[in-house]
Each structure stands twice: as structure tokens, then as C-alpha cells.
Amino acid sequence: MGSGWMGPGPGPAVVWGFCWLFSGLFSKGLACPSSCKCSSSRIWCKDLNAGISAFPVLENSADLENIREIYIANQGRLAGINDNDVAIYPGLKNLTVVDSGLKSVARRAFRKNSKLNYINLSRNKLSRLSKKPFRHLNLSRLILSDNPFQCSCDIMWIKIRQNSLIADLKDLYCMNGNMKIPLSDMQISNCGLPRVNLSVTTLTVLEGSDVTLHCDSTGTPTPNVSWDISYVVSKNVVLTNKNSASLTLMNVTFQDNARYITCMAENMVGEDQASVELIVHFPPQIIFMGSPTLDYHWCIPFSVRGNPKPKLQWFHEGAVLSESNYIWSMIHETSNNSSEYHGCLQLDSPTHFYNGRYTLQAENKYGSDNHTVLAYFMHGPEDGEEAITDPQFYEGSVERGGKEKRGEKERRGHSVSERRRVEDISLGLPRVNLSVTTLTVLEGSDVTLHCDSTGTPTPNVSWDISYVVSKSVVVTNKNSASLTLMNVTFQDNARYIPCMAENMVGEDQASVELIVNFPPQIIFMGSPTLDHHWCIPFSVRGNPTPKLQWFHEGAVLNESDYIWSMIHETSNNNSEYHGCLQLDSPTHVYNGRYTLQAENKYGSDNHTVLAHFMQGPEDGEEAITDPQFYDFFETTSNDIGDTTDDRNQITSTDVSNEGNEDSITVYVVVGIAALVCTGLVIMLFILKFGRHSKFGIKGPSSVISNDDDSASPLHHISNGSNTPSSSEGGPDAVIIGMTKIPVIENPQYFGITNSHLKPDTFVQHIKRHNIVLKRELGEGAFGKVFLAECYNLCPEQDKILVAVKTLKDASDNARKDFHREAELLTNLQHEHIVKFYGVCVEGDPLIMVFEYMKHGDLNKFLRAHGPDAVLMAEGNRPAELTQSQMLHIAQQIAAGMVYLASQHFVHRDLATRNCLVGENLLVKIGDFGMSRDVYSTDYYRIMEYFKKWGCVKLLPGPKMFTSQACQQDFQD
């Protein structure tokens, strides 16, 4: 009874050595990151000391598709999941990132991970989380517990989806300031699911007609509305306008019958959709009818389309065929759109009497169609030999003579049987022989295909040209047939054309694959539409597959994660491609002409469309929404090349010469304008500084003169010709607390000259190209207000968020008010006065740039956090402001008013609507002059009329614009 290790086999040490060696080789093959461990299907990173700062990537790309699970824990330096981090693992099913420093998940992070089923992001540092990364995934579980979410509309979708997907809702909470609120109790005003409204739910149209469908939506935030036209075959145009969208179908095709076309609305909270069922009526068409085939019964196959369902009638040799138990018509299959029917005329043991021509007629109220086929089931007595008329042949065993007759009968019987035996030995199935099996031709050429067959009896040979579009001629000769195709069309590309041979024994067939090469043609290119992304739709045909290249304003467009071309669908013959140039959140920088060029070795084509995604700061009017505006550009080519296609009347012209002429004209006009402007500036300079101001400084109690000439031009920050006075600490300075505030004479009360301005208060001019608009915040009588990013404004930051106010009215008075406002705001510098960054006067419209206050005006903020907030928010009640918080707000406004009074400035319209709220309950006074007009056109009339909510000091009569008026406003 010895050891467990017997005989000459390897010992334990050797076995463990082999295991260690195998494990080492396996890990090396996977090339696992040093701080993680890997198996053939799993990666796990839990080492707290080594740690990772980015998503783990296997060095061997061949192993990426085999990974099914990634587990990451205790990785404090891992801050985000970016667009391409997880995309390299297409087979990933389970993803876990826990107890780490995860702060963000890119909205396209899981776009290539359709197999993801389980995601666990618990115990991280997520404060916001969009639903977009997850909406296309078929998740069974999403775990988000123990993340410091901020109470906002961004996470309302998590609360709404209280189902098996997010099963840990009881463990979720959000932070509202310093308050920790269970997510199930979170109430956010103006934050709800969208709802789609359709004009109709079922629409019946006639093939070839045009029809428009309308869809709008309700919901807050305002949802994006789009039509899903992925499967629509008819040519279509989609127009979107804020919270509505219309879909126009042109020349509706039968292929869209019984099609459900879906309208979708989506905001950050969720989505809704509704569908219109399109019923297309059209006359019948027999699209296929074949020769008889023998299965259990004889079958004459056919395929018919039509809506309403056509009535079918069969004819034999021109006479109506009455159906019975031995011959009947049967539908075996109906297509998905219920308008195509496939079936058979079935015959049970037909004799030679049933040979002949069979005609099928299909009819409905819109028209009819018929088709004929020749059927041959059995040889008749007349085929091959004389009919047997001897009655003794039919009498069988009856004898009518002596031995001689019987002998003759026997000899005759032997002769017939021998002949039949010889015929049986020589019978055989037919066999088809083709000259080629694949033939490649150029579009427009002529080609001839040859087919012959062998077999006994001699087979009949034919070509099946039921689906051939090109003009064709078939010539038959005994046991062969030739097919000539003339002016071959691209529609026959990848077409299989069968040659069939048939005799009484059976049949055979073989097919030729026809490959048609032809130059590219852009058959459709539409205006941009907004779905999940902006999409410039296109359809291109060509063989070989064309190479596609996009251009923006004539320059090559480099694709990236934010702008890329995608083919959504390829037609059956693999020569037509339907897709989109997709743009992710484009700004006004992406406005302009987009050109698509398609090219293969046989030629090229290009097409241009005008895209307008967002108004830029220079846009003085509404975005162009008229589709005819875009239609003009849809048939206009750029200077890449010129092509003409007479088949579809799509013409592109070369406009490079025209473009050069336009450029020269522009240069000449700009040069003349520059000279004129230079002369005007010199004249204004002479007029301005060659005489004394009309106004004398009469002290701080002076009021505005009736002769308003205080709107001096803006002082550029780089203008060194005007040296400011150093007397900023003069006798008019006011001491508040321990701070001495220099008095700046109010331009609305005094005629300010350049010598009275502080050196640090020259109006800063901002380049227009440094301002990138993000979205519109509001609109008033004098212009629009945008949220924007401003570059190179602060030395410590590359870009900051700002509020941009535009001046729509370009009149002289409006421009004077603009200049006066800019100089005034530049001089007002205080922590509780909205910060003014500068202006942009490069062209129209004129722009003012202010700091961005996140929570908007104080009036709405107080209402949203007041006792009646639950009524305004439809049941979602936010936390009310405490007494100490409201006192803190009042103290900040008072501090700002003290500063204004120290500057001898009267606001004239102090109200909660003219105060703005930022982060951490920071309140500032704003809306001076022009900005007041932008936001408050519904509160009062401008100029000489009494403000609706103004204090009693401002009643019509002698103007008493003093600091006491503002005190009255503050008390009100």
C-alpha cells in the first residue's frame, strides 16, 4: 500500500511546474495590464496599491472580443468611462465599477456593447448621470446605489424607472444643498416625461400620391421630436420646429403598405412614442407565374400583389376554369405588409386533357392584370404513335379467333413490350449546360448568354426573365436557347438569371449571376433632421462600392467621434446605400454647405446641401425653416467636379468660376467698406475731441439734461490715445465700513469725458470668433439672450460660461443706448453687481457679454422655492427657503444698492425680476437699461411711461430719480 503516485509517471513537483508554466504562458498570451488579472473571458482590477487611472486594455487585440465580464473595484483614480473605453469589448455582458472615483459616463460609452446585460456603478462619485448611455441596452439590472447624486432633472429618469431594471431605488438619494433626500422623495419643478400627439393614427392613401403627417409633443424640459423613417421606402422630407415635426411622403409606394411610422419625443427625463399606420391602395400586379411543378400535386406557382386584396380567376385555353376537388387555387403565403400573395393552382393527377394554356387574372377596384403559362402534364394518344383502335386490345382476355389470331396477337404484344422496354432504357433527366456562371458587364452594354441541354426525350430549354429589367430577346433552337440583354441597366446588378430544361422525365436548371458595373450616382440628399443626433440623409448607388468623402465649405471633413458617416441600409442588389452624416450636438460653427462626393473607378458624383443647426452671434434674424430654401441647394454642386445623370434628372454643375468671381466681388466690397469706415472714424474723432462737451459737471445732485449727448463711443481696451485721469480718489469718494469706494460719475446724470474714467474700466472688446453659442436662454423686445462659451476671456481658464445679449434693433438711438450701457456697466464693479465682461461690435448684431448666473432671476427662484411652488411644479415640491436664507438674499441686494448709491446711481427699476441668482445662493443686481428691456418687456413700457411696478416716487410729473426711489423699490 504505497504512495498515491505509482510507476514511472511524473512526480507532484513536475506536475505543478507544468501548471505554473501553462498559467504564465496563458497570461502572457492575453497581455493583461500589470495592475489587473485576466482570464480568457474576464478582467478584474482590485489592487488598491497599484491602481489604474484609465480603463484596462488587453495588448493582444485578438482577445478583446472574448471578454465577457470586467470587474473594477477600489480604483480611486478612475474618474470616467469615455466613448471608446468599453467599445473595444463587443462581447461584454457584465460590467462592474464599484468603490472607485467614477464621476462621469460618456453618453456614447456603450454604443458598441449591445450584449451588455448587467451594469453595477455603485459607491462611486457620480453627481449626474444621463439616461442616454443605457437607452439602447437590453439591461436586466442597473445598480447605482451610494452615489452623491445632485437633485436635478438630470436624474429624474432614475426615479421614474422604478422597475426591475433599477431594483435598488430605496438605496438611492440625492443632495439638495446640504440636505440628503431619498430619490423616491425628490421633487423637481418643470421636469416631466414628454407626451406625443399625432394628427391621425391610421391613414389610407393611393399609390403615387403625396401625404404629410404631423406630430407634436408636450413636456418639460421641451422634448426633441423626430420621425423614425428607417424603414420607409417612399421619398420623404422631415421638418422639425421646436416641439413638433412633420413628415412628408412623396410618390408613396406600395412597399410602404401596412407600415407603422413612429414619431418619438425625448427629453432628459424620458421618451414617448406613437405610430401612424399607413395603408396604401394600388392596382393588382402578377409579379411571378411559373411552369407547372410536381410535388404531392401538380402546381402552377404564382405571386400576386395588390390592395385591397385582388380577386383571382383562372382560365384554361381561354375558358373560365371552374375549381373542384381535382383542381383548385390555394394561397400558401402572405407577405408581412399583407399586400403580396404567393400560391398555386393545384391539379390532382391531371391527364393530357389538362395540357394547354393557363391564364390567371387578378382584379380589384383600382385595376387588373393577367398572365399566361403553358402546361404539359401527360402525352396524349396523338403524341409519338397512332392511337390504338383495335377493340380486342381493350377487351383484354376475350378471344375472337383461332390460333392464328391468337399468335398474331401475341406477336403484336411482344413487339409493343419490346419497343416500350427500349424506350424506357433510353429515357433520362435533362441536364443544363451554361457558357458562363458569372458575367461582369458595364452598364449600357449588350451581352448574350447561351444555354443548352442534354437528355432524352429532347428537353425544352427556356430562360426565366420574369425579374429581368433590361430589354431582352430570347431565341430557342431545339435543345438550346440564347438570351440577349440590350442596354443593360444597373437594376439588374447581382441578378441571377436561370436557364431551365424540361422533358417528360423531369427538369433541371442553372443560373448565371450578372454583375453590372456603373459609375456612382447620388440619388438623394436631404436637409438635416434631428433624431438622437443630427443627420444629413443620403442615398448613393454605384458598383463597385463607391468611396464616400464629405466636405464642409469646400474643405475635406475629417470624421471623429462627434461627426461621422454611417450606412444604415444596403439594397437587395448590393449597389444602393442609404445612410447619414451624423453630427453630435453641432453649434453654429458647423453651419454651412455640406458636399458629399462618391467615387469609383468608373466615375464620380457630388451633391451639396445647406445645413443650419444653430444661430450664431452674428445672425440677426430667425433661423431659416422654409424647406424651399434648402431645396435650392439640394441640386447645387460645389467645385469638386461636375456630373450629369439623365435617368433621374439629377444634375450637378461646376461653380468654381462663379465662386472665384464672388470672392473677388467680396474683396472689392470689403475694401471699399473699410476705406469708408476709416474715414468716418477719423471724422468722428475730430468732431469728438475738437470741441467741448455740452454738459458741465454740476455735482452729484445734478440730473440728466434734456439734451442727451452722453452716449460716447466705446473705449477700446487697447486704445492708448486717451489717458485716464488719476483723480479717482477725489473728494467725492465714499467710505463704507473700512473700504473707500471711489465715486464714478453716472453717465445718465453727468457728461462723462475720457478724463473721468478709471484706467481699469475701459470697455473690453471681445472677438466674435471667441464666442461659441450653446443654447438660447430667452428673448425680449431688443434681442435674444444666449448661453455661450467664451474663450481667452480669463487668463486662468481657457473658456468660461457667459450670458450673451444681442441687440436686434440697429437704430441710432438703440446703438447710443448700447454704448452708454456698456460704459456704465464697466464702471460698476462690485461683488453683488452682475459682472460685465465686455462687448463685441464686429458687425451686427452688437453683443454684450455678462457672467452667467445659473439659477436665473430672483423672482422665479423665490416662486420655485416658496409656499406655492407645489402648484407651479404640478406636485413636485422643492425645499422652501428658510427665513435666514431670505434674509441673506436681502442683505446681498442691500449691499449692492449701497454701492450704487455711493456711485450716485439710481437703478429706477429695482425688483426681484432684475436680480439674478448664482451658485450657493449668491445674488447680484442686474438688468441696467438695455438688459432690462431684454427681460422685462411685459412689465412696463420704455421711455416716458410709468413702470407698472415702479415706486410712487416715479409717478408722472417732475422726475425725482434719486436714491430714495430705489429705497422705496427695495422696501416694496
Report the binding-site residues for ATP: 777-785, 805
Q: What is the DSSP letter of 880?
A: P
Written as nine digits, the cell of 675 is: 476705406
Distance (Å, whole) CA 37 – CA 394: 92
Task: Determine what percent of the chain falls in helix, strand and coil, rounding each to the nearest 5.
Answer: 20, 35, 45
Distance (Å, whole) CA 463 – CA 440: 19
Beta bridge pairs of residue 582: 535, 564
Backbone angles phi, psi at 920, to 5 degrees: 55, 35
Whole-number Cα distances in Å, 398 to 411, 412, 738, 926: 17, 16, 147, 127
Distance (Å, whole) CA 228 – CA 211: 16
Query: If we measure between CA atoms, which residue out of 869, 917, 882, 885 comes closest to residue 187?
Result: 869
CA trace torsion 85, 91, 96, 102 (10° rounding): 10
Distance (Å, whole) CA 370 – CA 357: 13
Q: What is the DSSP letter of 850?
A: E
- Single out the catalytic residue among 85, 605, 909, 969: 909
Query: If we measure between CA atoms, which residue out of 688, 603, 587, 677 comes closest to residue 644?
Result: 603
Task: Determine the angle formed by the axes of helices 963-971 and 883-902, rounding to 10 degrees.
Answer: 170
Written as nine digits, the cell of 778 is: 430667452
Side-chain-side CA neighbours of residue 436 (13 Å): 13
Written as nine digits, the cell of 826 is: 464697466
Distance (Å, whole) CA 155 – CA 160: 9
Distance (Å, whole) CA 410 – CA 62: 82
Query: If we measure between CA atoms, which residue out of 67, 115, 117 comes closest to residue 88?
Result: 67
632: left (phi over 0), alpha (psi -120 to 50) or beta: alpha
| 3-class secondary structure per residue, 148-191 | CEECCHHHHHHHHCCCCCCCCHHHCEEEECCEEEEHHHCCCCCC
Distance (Å, whole) CA 647 – CA 872: 60
End-to-end Cα separation, the chain, in angstroms? 106
Q: Which residues contact 688 (CB under 8 A, 6 or more apart)?
A: 712, 713
Distance (Å, whole) CA 264 – CA 276: 12
What's at 79, amino acid-wise?
A
909 flagged as catalytic? yes
Q: Is 671 exposed, middle or buried (0-12, 13-18, 19+ CB in 10 A)?
A: exposed
Distance (Å, whole) CA 60 – CA 90: 15
Question: How many Cβ atoms are within 10 Å of 295's Cβ, its own excluded?
Answer: 8
Distance (Å, whole) CA 111 – CA 92: 12
Strands 547-552 and 495-502: unpaired
Query: If we measure between CA atoms, which residue out of 112, 107, 85 comes closest to residue 97?
Result: 85
Annotated binding site: 777-785, 805
Beta bridge pairs of residue 320: 315
Question: How many Cβ atoms are within 10 Å of 847's Cβ, its own excluded?
Answer: 24
User: In which residue are the cell numbers 508554466 written?
Assistant: 21
Q: Is 110 exposed, middle or buried (0-12, 13-18, 19+ CB in 10 A)?
A: buried
Written as nine digits, the cell of 151 is: 437633485
Active site residues: 909
